[in-house]
C-alpha cells in the first residue's frame, strides 16, 4: 500500500505533489491545511484522504464557507495499515523541537510510525520505533529547499519511506 504523507500546505498544494499523490492509495495530511480546497486537490487512487488539524487550522484562518469541514477534523488520528499503526499529529503540542521525537515516541509507543508537521522540515527518523517522520511543507511557505512529501510503502512485514522534494518555484513560474 502506498500512502502519501504531507503537511503544512497553508492553503496551497504544490501541483507536482498533487500529481504524485494521485499515484498513491491513500493521502494523510498532518495539519496546517489552510482550506478545504487543498483537501479537494488530493486525489489518491482510492479517493480516501485523512487529515488532522494543525495549530493554524482555526476558524479565523479558514474561509467562512469551509468552517464546517474544519470542525470535522480531529487533532490526531491513528490508522491501521498493513503491518502496523500510523499516528498523525501536527506536532505543535511538543513545544521543544529538540525533544519532539522522544516525546512523540513516548506518547505513541504502539505505533509503527508517527507522522507530524509544524516544523516544515523534511525528516525521516527511522533509527528507532516508532519511526518519527515529517514530510516537510507541501505548499509554498517555509519549504526549506523546496516543497516535499513522503511516500510510505506499508506492507504486512516491511515498511519503507520514499522522501520526495521538488525544486522551489517562484510565483511567476507556477
Minimum mean pLDDT among 11-25, 57-71, 146-160: which range? 57-71
β pairing state of 76-81 and 84-89: antiparallel
- For 37, phi then psi, to 5°, come to -60, -40
Q: What is the pLDDT of residue 60?
A: 85
Q: CA distances (Å), 124 to each of 55, 69, 88, 169, in order?
A: 22, 30, 14, 24
State the average pLDDT over residues 67-77: 89
Cell 489518491 sits at which residue? 44
Cβ contact 148:124 at 8 Å: no
Domain interval for residue 109:
2-173
Q: Residue 87 sits in a domain of what CATH number? A: 3.60.21.10
pLDDT tens for each residue of 135-162: 999 988 777 768 999 999 999 999 999 9
Distance CA 89, CA 62 (A): 19
Domain count, the chain: 1
In this model, does residue 94 exceed pLDDT 90? no
State the average pLDDT over residues 5-16: 96
Distance CA 123, CA 119 (A): 10
Amino acid at each position: 500500500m502506498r500512502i502519501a504523507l504531507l503537511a503544512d500546505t497553508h492553503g496551497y498544494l504544490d501541483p507536482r505533489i498533487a500529481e504524485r499523490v494521485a499515484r498513491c492509495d491513500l493521502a494523510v495530511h498532518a495539519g496546517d491545511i489552510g482550506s478545504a480546497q487543498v483537501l479537494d486537490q488530493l486525489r489518491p487512487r482510492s479517493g480516501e484522504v485523512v487529515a488532522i488539524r494543525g495549530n493554524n487550522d482555526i476558524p479565523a484562518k479558514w474561509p467562512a464557507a469551509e468552517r464546517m469541514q474544519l470542525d470535522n477534523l480531529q487533532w490526531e488520528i491513528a490508522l491501521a495499515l498493513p503491518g502496523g499503526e500510523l499516528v498523525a499529529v501536527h506536532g505543535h503540542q511538543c513545544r521543544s523541537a529538540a525533544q519532539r521525537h522522544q516525546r512523540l515516541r513516548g506518547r505513541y509507543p504502539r505505533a509503527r510510525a508517527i507522522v507530524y508537521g509544524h516544523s516544515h522540515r523534511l525528516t525521516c527518523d527511522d533509527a528507532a520505533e516508532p519511526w518519527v517522520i515529517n514530510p516537510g511543507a507541501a505548499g509554498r511557505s517555509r519549504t526549506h529547499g523546496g516543497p516535499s512529501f513522503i511516500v510510505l510503502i506499508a506492507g504486512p512485514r516491511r515498511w519503507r519511506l520514499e522522501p520526495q522534494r521538488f525544486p522551489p518555484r517562484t510565483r511567476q513560474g507556477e
